[in-house]
Amino acid sequence: MSNAAVVELRAVAGLEVYRRNPFRLTGLPTDVDRRTARHRQQQLTAVLQVGADLPEDVTAADPNELRGAFERVLGDPRRRLVEELFWLWGSPGAKCRCPRQVHHEHDEAVRAHSAVLEEELTDLGRTPHPSAVAKRGVMWVMASRHWDAALKSKHFWEHVRHRIDVLDDRQLDRSVVAELRKELPLALVRPLTDLVAATPAPLRLATIARKWPVPKRVLELRLEEIAEPLYDEIHTLASELIQRLHSEDAQRIANDVTRVLRPKLNRLEALVPHAQHRRTASARERVGIVLNNCATQLIETGSVLDGRAAKWLDEAGELAGDTPGADTVAANKATLDEMRRTLETIRSQVNYYVGIGSTYSAKAMLRRVRSALGDGPGSYDVDKMLADLGGRRVTEKSGGRYGWLWWALIGGAAVGALVRWLAGW
């Protein structure tokens, strides 16, 4: 019996938990008896048949919605009991022994919660104005406080037991109270987490959800459940980009990381921060691997000096954090930094030779380096240095006594360092 009521509770909880409440739609009080409810249904059916307007307290949009609402009031008592929790109790009736404050606190919770949900639903999918964000922040706090106060009252649950007794149906007994007591706080936060799932910028609402009085572990699992499609998308897209690197330019792949993967990763971080969620940390590492591979491809086939590889490795390191992939990225970055220092030293020596009028010596040094490198990392930059010298007139065949001494001390060391570092890439 209790399990069936919990199933009903989970089915009811959602973005329209108040909008579609049958007592709201029919204008009936939550403690209405079956006879009165049937009489009301007959009255409203007659009104619809003659084409007259429904009373103002009836909010059903059409006959089908009205009929469905009456079915939920008059049907399964377990569903009805759940629906009663999400609408106004009003003043205690003659048979209800609740203190007036219990009904008042519950109704304030319903009003506050339904009001802020209605505000959020009015511009769902759009970015709200900052003034609306501030207002809703206060409204969410009030809704949370009212519900928390209501659920902590022993009289609240005495009222639920009283309603079970009044409904007097063999499908429903007092054993349901313990299950509802456990599940209702989770059901109350469900509309908020559904909003988190539906909004393009979830950080604000996810932050509010984490302040709702529910077990932290349960809420984080719910947010991971919402994030599941994002985890799958990021993993699939990252794998596709890694495969495309075998046949496409690294810059194009890095652009796709920025254009496609980064926004998804940012949304994931807003939902389930990597500091608290290992799967998010793994997803970030996966994207970092893509950028690491872009950098290594560029180093092997393109420029070491133009800064792109360094930028990608810096970003990859930030994404990898303290995951296993971070060590690989850090090692690649250290090697790249040494390559760049060595190539900058060679470029400085080239500039020195050109400055003293010995372009011939500069070319000779670069050709020696190029021969040692083959087609490996750094060869692109050396080719560019040679190409830049191609249009310059050779004015000196030798660097002179002191020029060659400089080459022996600096140029030779640079070549040795370049070969030593790049040969092991």
- What pLDDT is stored for residue 417 in this prediction? 52
Residue 63 and residue 50: Cα distance in Å, rounded? 13
Cα distances (angstroms) measured from residue 208 to each of 43, 141, 275, 309:
44, 8, 18, 39
Task: Provide the pLDDT for residue 51.
Answer: 81
What was the pLDDT predicted at 391? 43
208 burial via Cβ count (<10 Å: 0-12, 13-18, 19+)? buried
Give the global pTM.
0.79
Q: Please state, in angstroms and rounded to a whole number, the distance separating the CA atoms of residues 321 and 138.
A: 35
Q: Assign 374 to helix, strand or coil.
A: coil
| Residue 373: per-residue pLDDT | 84
Note the pLDDT of residue 290.
97
Residue 53 pLDDT: 83
pLDDT for the residue 402: 29
Rounded mean pLDDT for each run of 10 residues along the chain, 425 residues in total: 81 95 96 94 89 86 92 94 96 85 96 97 88 94 97 95 92 91 95 94 94 92 95 97 95 97 96 95 96 94 92 96 92 92 92 92 91 87 91 38 34 49 44
**Three-class HEC string of 142-203:** HHHHHHHHHHHCHHHHHHHHHHHHHHCCCCCCCCHHHHHHHHHHHHHHHHHHHHHHHCCCCH
CA distance 239 to 261: 11
The pLDDT value recorded for residue 2 is 54
Q: How far, in Å, CA of 368 to CA of 415, rounded?
A: 8
